[in-house]
Amino acid sequence: MNELDVRTSMILAGVVFGVLYGAVAQATRFCVRRGITDLAEGRGAQTLSAWFAAVFVALPMTQWMLLDGHIATDSMVYFPASLSLWTTVLGAIVFAVGMVLTRGCPARLTVLAATGNLRAWFGLLVIGLSAYATFKGLFAETRVSWQASGAVQLPQSSLLLVGEHLAWGLIALVTVVLAVGAFRYGITRNLIGGLLVGTLVAGAWSTTAVLGADDFDPMAPMSYSFVAPIGEAMTYMQLASGLEPSFNVTMILGVLIGAFAMSLLRREFELQTFESATDHGRYFLGAVMMGVGGIFALGCTTGQSITGLATGSGWSVLVTGVIFVTGFYAHRVFVMPKEPVV
């Protein structure tokens, strides 16, 4: 039997990790945005414990891989040589407002789309179009120019890896803090979902690092992110004859397959659509904001606030803080005075 080449292996890995994420996220209703909005409504942090649990697992495992040399930061988007501070912060703010308007981040919309939610499908199409127009399309030159203006340098290594002995102490301290947030409400569906998602994030880093370590055709390790990959998947669907699939493309496909299969198994597949033109317009605006904002912020509530945080990136810490604070207040301003969260 012939051994698979590195690119084929990465494509298959994308499918596998996508299916697993889709199944887990659908069954446990994993959603970082809901944790933020529940907190804004005074419901406590029980839903947010899913995010704590995901980072609780992903961070120490990823830091260990960095210390061991299993993965390296020089091939990750989370450690740019320099980047504009104002565009990154603005991108995170815009993304956060967008996710509140659409009632879901890109990862959650991908899962919902597979369960028959036509609102989510519309959101995904708009996110993909606006993200790739900003990333590689019509507005790419403007984006590059803006991101170079007032550029600053943050550490190009994990903030936790400040020395081998001190590093383990810092990792342990942060892990304990995350454990408190994750386990304070006991064994719940939120906790289980977060633990599984965190394991998948670290597992994707590790698996793709091994598969991509080819002397003749090396490929950078990959893990979960959704804004740019949704745009990449849409582009591949239209230009497949002239493009090669990638981990990102097949990961999005896998999430749809996994969530669809789980929704059928749990008898939760149901067609849903917009209730009004106002609802439709809000989704459109929010999706555009997530697509554009997510590119400037280098990721979303999964790509930055879980996958990026696990790497110890200073940019991920910044973006996560901005998204959480903005999402909290945006929900109070735009949603709570008008209608209950569904």
Choose among 46, 28, 48, 25: nearest CA to 36: 48
Dihedral of alpha carbons 234, 143, 105, 271, sign: negative
pTM higher than 0.85, yes or no? yes
Rounded to 10 deg, the angle between the 140-148 and 118-135 helix axes is: 70
Q: Where do runs of H (alpha helix) occur along 103-139?
A: 106-114, 118-135
Quote the pLDDT of residue 341.
40
Distance CA(6)–CA(28), nearest Å, equals 33
Residue 323 near residue 301, CB atoms below 8 Å: yes
Phi, psi of 84 (to 5 degrees): -70, 125
The stretches in the chain having pLDDT less than 50 are 1, 340-342
Quote the pLDDT of residue 162.
81
Quote the pLDDT of residue 1.
40
Q: Where do runs of H (alpha helix) occur along 164-276?
A: 164-183, 189-211, 227-239, 247-265
What are 264-290's pLDDT values in tens digits? Answer: 999 999 999 998 999 999 999 999 999
**Terminal alpha carbon distance of the chain:** 51
Q: Which residue bears the tokens 């890995």? A: 13
Quote the pLDDT of residue 86.
96
Q: Cβ contacts of residue 339 below 8 Å, gap of 6+?
A: none
Residue 20 near residue 187, CB atoms below 8 Å: no
**What 3-state class would DSSP assign to 252?**
helix
Quote the pLDDT of residue 249.
96
Phi, psi of 272 (to 5 degrees): -135, 150
Quote the pLDDT of residue 137.
93
Quote the pLDDT of residue 218.
86
